[in-house]
Amino acid sequence: MTKDGDAVALNWAKKNWHRVVVHGVCIATLFILAYYYLFAQLATPIRFVMLRTGTIGLILLVASFACTPAARILHWQGAIQIRRALGLYGFLFTAIHLFAYAWGDNEFDVELILRDLDERRAMLIGTIGFALLIPLALTSTRGWQRRLGRRWKILHRLVYLALPLAVLHYLLLDRDFIQLPLVFGAVVAILFLLRITRRLNLSMRDRTPKILAFLLQFLLVQH
Protein backbone atom coordinates (compact mmCIF):
# COMPACT_ATOMS: atom_id res chain seq x y z
CA MET A 1 0.00 0.00 0.00
CA THR A 2 1.19 3.58 -0.71
CA LYS A 3 1.83 6.09 2.07
CA ASP A 4 -1.39 7.92 1.19
CA GLY A 5 -3.29 4.64 1.30
CA ASP A 6 -1.79 3.87 4.75
CA ALA A 7 -2.81 7.27 6.06
CA VAL A 8 -6.37 6.87 4.77
CA ALA A 9 -6.65 3.40 6.32
CA LEU A 10 -5.22 4.65 9.64
CA ASN A 11 -7.61 7.60 9.68
CA TRP A 12 -10.55 5.30 8.97
CA ALA A 13 -9.51 2.92 11.76
CA LYS A 14 -9.11 5.85 14.20
CA LYS A 15 -12.60 7.14 13.40
CA ASN A 16 -14.19 3.68 13.43
CA TRP A 17 -12.25 1.99 16.25
CA HIS A 18 -15.51 1.03 18.02
CA ARG A 19 -16.78 -0.79 14.90
CA VAL A 20 -13.40 -2.53 14.52
CA VAL A 21 -13.53 -3.66 18.19
CA VAL A 22 -17.08 -5.07 17.88
CA HIS A 23 -16.40 -6.99 14.64
CA GLY A 24 -12.94 -8.08 15.81
CA VAL A 25 -14.10 -9.40 19.19
CA CYS A 26 -17.20 -11.17 17.81
CA ILE A 27 -15.39 -12.83 14.90
CA ALA A 28 -12.48 -13.85 17.16
CA THR A 29 -15.02 -15.37 19.61
CA LEU A 30 -16.54 -17.42 16.79
CA PHE A 31 -13.08 -18.74 15.86
CA ILE A 32 -12.27 -19.55 19.50
CA LEU A 33 -15.54 -21.49 19.87
CA ALA A 34 -14.82 -23.37 16.61
CA TYR A 35 -11.32 -24.18 17.91
CA TYR A 36 -12.69 -25.52 21.21
CA TYR A 37 -15.35 -27.51 19.40
CA LEU A 38 -12.84 -29.13 17.00
CA PHE A 39 -9.60 -29.49 18.92
CA ALA A 40 -10.04 -29.07 22.70
CA GLN A 41 -11.03 -32.72 23.24
CA LEU A 42 -14.02 -31.76 25.38
CA ALA A 43 -16.31 -34.53 26.66
CA THR A 44 -19.38 -32.90 25.04
CA PRO A 45 -18.18 -30.23 22.58
CA ILE A 46 -21.65 -29.49 21.20
CA ARG A 47 -23.02 -28.81 24.70
CA PHE A 48 -20.03 -26.54 25.36
CA VAL A 49 -20.88 -24.54 22.21
CA MET A 50 -24.58 -24.49 23.10
CA LEU A 51 -23.99 -23.08 26.58
CA ARG A 52 -21.34 -20.52 25.54
CA THR A 53 -23.32 -19.21 22.56
CA GLY A 54 -26.38 -18.78 24.84
CA THR A 55 -24.43 -16.61 27.29
CA ILE A 56 -22.53 -14.64 24.64
CA GLY A 57 -25.72 -14.10 22.61
CA LEU A 58 -27.49 -12.71 25.67
CA ILE A 59 -24.56 -10.42 26.55
CA LEU A 60 -24.56 -9.02 22.99
CA LEU A 61 -28.33 -8.48 22.94
CA VAL A 62 -28.15 -6.62 26.26
CA ALA A 63 -25.17 -4.59 25.00
CA SER A 64 -27.14 -3.60 21.89
CA PHE A 65 -30.09 -2.56 24.07
CA ALA A 66 -27.73 -0.49 26.23
CA CYS A 67 -26.44 1.56 23.28
CA THR A 68 -29.22 4.17 23.17
CA PRO A 69 -29.06 5.17 26.86
CA ALA A 70 -25.24 4.89 26.78
CA ALA A 71 -25.06 7.34 23.86
CA ARG A 72 -27.19 9.82 25.79
CA ILE A 73 -25.44 9.46 29.14
CA LEU A 74 -21.89 9.39 27.76
CA HIS A 75 -22.61 11.94 24.98
CA TRP A 76 -21.04 9.46 22.57
CA GLN A 77 -22.74 8.83 19.21
CA GLY A 78 -20.38 5.90 18.54
CA ALA A 79 -22.66 3.76 20.73
CA ILE A 80 -25.50 4.23 18.21
CA GLN A 81 -23.17 3.26 15.37
CA ILE A 82 -22.43 -0.16 16.90
CA ARG A 83 -25.99 -0.89 18.11
CA ARG A 84 -27.06 -2.78 14.98
CA ALA A 85 -23.86 -4.86 14.72
CA LEU A 86 -24.15 -5.87 18.39
CA GLY A 87 -27.79 -6.87 17.89
CA LEU A 88 -27.03 -8.88 14.76
CA TYR A 89 -24.09 -10.70 16.36
CA GLY A 90 -26.36 -11.37 19.37
CA PHE A 91 -28.89 -12.90 16.99
CA LEU A 92 -26.19 -14.95 15.23
CA PHE A 93 -24.86 -16.39 18.51
CA THR A 94 -28.38 -17.26 19.73
CA ALA A 95 -29.14 -18.87 16.35
CA ILE A 96 -26.04 -21.07 16.79
CA HIS A 97 -27.24 -21.75 20.38
CA LEU A 98 -30.59 -22.96 19.06
CA PHE A 99 -28.93 -24.98 16.27
CA ALA A 100 -26.60 -26.66 18.80
CA TYR A 101 -29.60 -27.47 21.02
CA ALA A 102 -31.60 -28.95 18.12
CA TRP A 103 -28.58 -30.96 16.98
CA GLY A 104 -26.72 -31.86 20.18
CA ASP A 105 -29.65 -32.40 22.54
CA ASN A 106 -32.24 -33.67 20.05
CA GLU A 107 -30.51 -34.80 16.85
CA PHE A 108 -32.97 -32.63 14.89
CA ASP A 109 -35.87 -34.88 15.99
CA VAL A 110 -38.87 -32.52 15.72
CA GLU A 111 -41.06 -34.72 17.92
CA LEU A 112 -38.43 -34.69 20.68
CA ILE A 113 -38.03 -30.93 20.42
CA LEU A 114 -41.79 -30.31 20.57
CA ARG A 115 -42.06 -32.57 23.62
CA ASP A 116 -39.23 -30.65 25.29
CA LEU A 117 -40.98 -27.32 24.55
CA ASP A 118 -44.12 -28.74 26.10
CA GLU A 119 -42.36 -30.05 29.20
CA ARG A 120 -39.85 -27.26 29.95
CA ARG A 121 -41.26 -23.74 30.27
CA ALA A 122 -37.76 -22.26 29.89
CA MET A 123 -37.45 -23.77 26.41
CA LEU A 124 -40.84 -22.47 25.27
CA ILE A 125 -40.03 -18.97 26.59
CA GLY A 126 -36.61 -19.03 24.89
CA THR A 127 -38.25 -20.07 21.62
CA ILE A 128 -40.76 -17.19 21.77
CA GLY A 129 -37.91 -14.78 22.58
CA PHE A 130 -35.87 -16.05 19.64
CA ALA A 131 -38.88 -15.98 17.27
CA LEU A 132 -39.44 -12.30 18.14
CA LEU A 133 -35.84 -11.53 17.23
CA ILE A 134 -36.20 -12.94 13.69
CA PRO A 135 -38.19 -10.02 12.16
CA LEU A 136 -35.82 -7.59 13.87
CA ALA A 137 -32.76 -9.24 12.33
CA LEU A 138 -34.41 -9.51 8.89
CA THR A 139 -35.42 -5.83 8.80
CA SER A 140 -32.26 -4.43 10.36
CA THR A 141 -30.91 -2.97 7.10
CA ARG A 142 -31.22 0.72 6.16
CA GLY A 143 -33.30 -0.34 3.11
CA TRP A 144 -35.94 -1.93 5.34
CA GLN A 145 -35.78 1.00 7.75
CA ARG A 146 -36.59 3.37 4.85
CA ARG A 147 -39.26 1.09 3.38
CA LEU A 148 -41.13 0.61 6.66
CA GLY A 149 -40.80 4.23 7.88
CA ARG A 150 -42.59 4.74 11.21
CA ARG A 151 -43.65 1.10 11.28
CA TRP A 152 -39.96 0.09 11.52
CA LYS A 153 -39.70 1.78 14.92
CA ILE A 154 -42.88 0.08 16.11
CA LEU A 155 -41.68 -3.31 14.84
CA HIS A 156 -38.32 -2.89 16.55
CA ARG A 157 -40.08 -2.38 19.87
CA LEU A 158 -40.39 -6.20 19.82
CA VAL A 159 -37.01 -6.14 21.53
CA TYR A 160 -38.84 -4.87 24.63
CA LEU A 161 -40.49 -8.29 24.77
CA ALA A 162 -37.69 -10.46 23.39
CA LEU A 163 -35.04 -9.35 25.87
CA PRO A 164 -37.04 -9.95 29.08
CA LEU A 165 -38.12 -13.33 27.64
CA ALA A 166 -34.47 -14.25 26.98
CA VAL A 167 -33.58 -13.36 30.59
CA LEU A 168 -36.60 -15.30 31.87
CA HIS A 169 -35.48 -18.30 29.78
CA TYR A 170 -32.10 -18.16 31.56
CA LEU A 171 -33.72 -17.66 34.98
CA LEU A 172 -36.06 -20.64 34.59
CA LEU A 173 -33.38 -23.16 33.59
CA ASP A 174 -33.16 -25.86 36.21
CA ARG A 175 -30.02 -24.56 37.90
CA ASP A 176 -28.74 -24.39 41.49
CA PHE A 177 -27.26 -20.92 41.02
CA ILE A 178 -29.44 -18.13 39.78
CA GLN A 179 -27.15 -15.21 40.64
CA LEU A 180 -25.98 -14.65 37.06
CA PRO A 181 -29.47 -14.65 35.49
CA LEU A 182 -30.54 -12.27 38.27
CA VAL A 183 -27.65 -9.94 37.39
CA PHE A 184 -28.80 -9.97 33.73
CA GLY A 185 -32.36 -9.29 34.94
CA ALA A 186 -31.20 -6.33 37.04
CA VAL A 187 -29.18 -4.84 34.17
CA VAL A 188 -32.13 -5.16 31.75
CA ALA A 189 -34.48 -3.64 34.38
CA ILE A 190 -32.13 -0.65 34.81
CA LEU A 191 -31.96 -0.18 31.02
CA PHE A 192 -35.77 -0.20 30.85
CA LEU A 193 -35.94 2.35 33.69
CA LEU A 194 -33.50 4.64 31.88
CA ARG A 195 -35.69 4.53 28.77
CA ILE A 196 -38.93 5.06 30.70
CA THR A 197 -37.61 8.03 32.69
CA ARG A 198 -36.27 9.55 29.46
CA ARG A 199 -39.73 9.24 27.82
CA LEU A 200 -41.45 10.73 30.90
CA ASN A 201 -38.96 13.63 31.00
CA LEU A 202 -39.49 14.32 27.30
CA SER A 203 -43.26 14.24 27.49
CA MET A 204 -43.22 16.52 30.59
CA ARG A 205 -40.91 18.91 28.74
CA ASP A 206 -43.32 18.95 25.75
CA ARG A 207 -46.34 19.56 27.92
CA THR A 208 -44.92 22.10 30.41
CA PRO A 209 -45.38 25.19 28.16
CA LYS A 210 -48.98 24.13 27.38
CA ILE A 211 -49.75 23.62 31.09
CA LEU A 212 -48.19 27.01 31.97
CA ALA A 213 -50.16 28.73 29.19
CA PHE A 214 -53.36 27.12 30.45
CA LEU A 215 -52.68 28.20 34.06
CA LEU A 216 -51.85 31.75 32.95
CA GLN A 217 -55.03 31.97 30.90
CA PHE A 218 -57.03 30.58 33.82
CA LEU A 219 -55.57 33.19 36.22
CA LEU A 220 -56.17 36.03 33.75
CA VAL A 221 -59.81 34.99 33.24
CA GLN A 222 -60.32 34.82 37.05
CA HIS A 223 -59.14 38.41 37.38
Judged by the rule CB under 6 A, the positions of this chain that interact with ligand HEM are: 51, 54-55, 57-58, 94, 97-98, 101, 105, 123, 126-127, 129-130, 133, 166, 169-170, 173
Q: Which of residues 55 and 81 has its CB atom nearest to ligand HEM in the complex?
A: 55
Q: Minimum distance from CB of 42 to ligand HEM (Å)?
A: 14
Q: What distance in Å separates the CA atoms of residue 58 and residue 184, rounded to the nearest whole number?
A: 9
Q: What distance in Å separates the CA atoms of residue 140 and residue 34, rounded to the nearest whole number?
A: 26
Q: Minimum distance from CB of 190 to ligand HEM (Å)?
A: 18
Q: What distance in Å separates the CA atoms of residue 46 and residue 215, rounded to the nearest whole number?
A: 67
Q: Which of residues 69 and 129 has its CB atom nearest to ligand HEM in the complex?
A: 129
**What is the signed CA dihedral for 132, 134, 137, 138, rounded to 10 degrees?**
-130
Q: Which of residues 6 and 118 has its CB atom nearest to ligand HEM in the complex?
A: 118
Q: Minimum distance from CB of 112 to ligand HEM (Å)?
A: 11
Q: What distance in Å separates the CA atoms of residue 222 and residue 36, rounded to the nearest whole number?
A: 78
Q: Minimum distance from CB of 97 to ligand HEM (Å)?
A: 5
